């Protein structure tokens, strides 16, 4: 079975139909690639370039107004990621170059930016009016005392944004990729689950898994590798359902593929597309 699964983020997006149409359009394009790695990279680049999503262009602004993005790519036996990278158009392409063209697995902050410039990625401002307005709403709520100092993760829901990810199995090869602008309700320097192998992404010889939602909660539970380690125990969708139920009302989504199946599940609105043959 060849399969490609995309997600556009677990959250409360009011334009879920529009986002579903976009991820299905992009999945059709990406599924034309001849291998799993190229397919997931193509899918994520398309979503990074679409301002409707919270990745690349359209990424959320943090409380201080900066935009720091995370991205990661994984294939069996190899990984590459960037953390808190700024002023690039496609963080996932930089993550791919970390994996294939550097001796490292993760690069962060200024080091990630310098590496991107050496790889030929020019300066790019990913900010949008959508991101500015979202930040303004958050600052207003904070100033009005509408968000308590110690808030339940569900307070993130309004500000999650539509982060992106893809998993694929093509001609027996697995791959996964993720990209995010994070959530606006965070300090500069915050790192979510997306670039953390085992948390927001994992890929091995048995399959590929990507998570989306409240990053801190996903990291605590190491969601992606928990699912991966259970592949073969029962049908993939049943494994994902059981792991998702452990989060209760905390917004989380999962996309996954193994040798024979694929699935996309969430306890919140999550645009997704599944292509297979």
Tell me the per-residue pLDDT of 123-143, one tens digit each, with 9 for 90 and over: 999 999 989 998 898 888 888
Q: Is 163 a catalytic residue?
A: yes
Range of 46's domain?
Answer: 3-249
Q: Is residue 266 part of a domain?
A: no
pLDDT tops 50 at residue 240? yes
Q: Is residue 229 part of a domain?
A: yes
Q: Is residue 227 part of a domain?
A: yes
**Mean pLDDT, range 178-186, rounded to an integer:** 88
pTM comes to 0.93
User: To the nearest whole percent, how much of the chain has pLDDT over 90?
Assistant: 79
Would you say 216 and 199 are in contact if contact means Cβ atoms under 8 Å apart?
Answer: no
pLDDT tops 50 at residue 6? yes
Q: Is residue 78 part of a domain?
A: yes
Query: Of 57, 163, 186, 212, which is the active-site residue?
Result: 163
Give the angle 145-151-156 at the CA atoms, nearest 5°. Answer: 95
Q: How many domains would you assign to the chain?
A: 1
Q: Which residues of 112-140 are buried (b: 16+ CB within 10 A; e: fewer)?
A: bbebbeeeebeeeebbbebbeebbeebee
Tell me the per-residue pLDDT of 88-97, one tens digit each, with 9 for 90 and over: 999 999 999 9
Q: Is residue 158 part of a domain?
A: yes
Nearest to 199 by CA among 187, 189, 212: 212
Q: Is residue 90 part of a domain?
A: yes
Q: Is residue 29 part of a domain?
A: yes
Would you say 256 and 74 are in contact if contact means Cβ atoms under 8 Å apart?
Answer: no
């Amino acid at each position: 079975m060849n399969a490609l699964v995309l997600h556009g983020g677990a959250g409360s997006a009011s334009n879920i139909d529009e986002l579903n149409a976009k991820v299905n359009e992009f999945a059709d394009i990406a599924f034309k690639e001849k291998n799993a790695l190229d397919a997931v990279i193509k899918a994520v680049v398309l979503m990074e370039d679409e301002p409707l999503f919270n990745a690349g262009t359209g990424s959320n602004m943090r409380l201080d107004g900066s935009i720091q993005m995370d991205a990661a790519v994984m294939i069996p036996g190899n990984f590459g990621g960037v953390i808190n990278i700024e002023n690039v158009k496609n963080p996932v392409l930089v993550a791919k170059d970390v994996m294939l063209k550097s001796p490292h697995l993760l690069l962060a902050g200024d080091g990630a930016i310098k590496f991107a410039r050496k790889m030929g990625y020019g300066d790019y401002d990913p900010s949008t009016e959508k991101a500015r307005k979202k930040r303004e709403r958050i600052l207003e709520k904070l100033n009005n005392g509408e968000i308590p100092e110690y808030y339940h993760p569900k307070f993130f829901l309004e500000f999650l944004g539509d982060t992106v990810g893809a998993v694929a199995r093509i001609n027996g090869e697995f791959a996964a990729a993720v990209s995010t602008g994070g959530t606006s309700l965070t300090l500069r320097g915050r790192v979510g689950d997306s670039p953390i192998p085992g948390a927001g992404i994992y890929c091995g010889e048995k399959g590929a898994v990507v998570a989306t939602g409240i990053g801190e909660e996903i990291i605590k539970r190491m969601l992606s590798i928990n699912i991966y380690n259970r592949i073969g125990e029962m049908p993939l969708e049943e494994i994902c359902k059981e792991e998702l139920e452990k989060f209760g009302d905390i917004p989380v989504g999962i996309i996954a593929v193994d040798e024979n199946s694929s699935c996309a599940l969430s306890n919140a609105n999550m645009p997704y597309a599944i292509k297979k043959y």
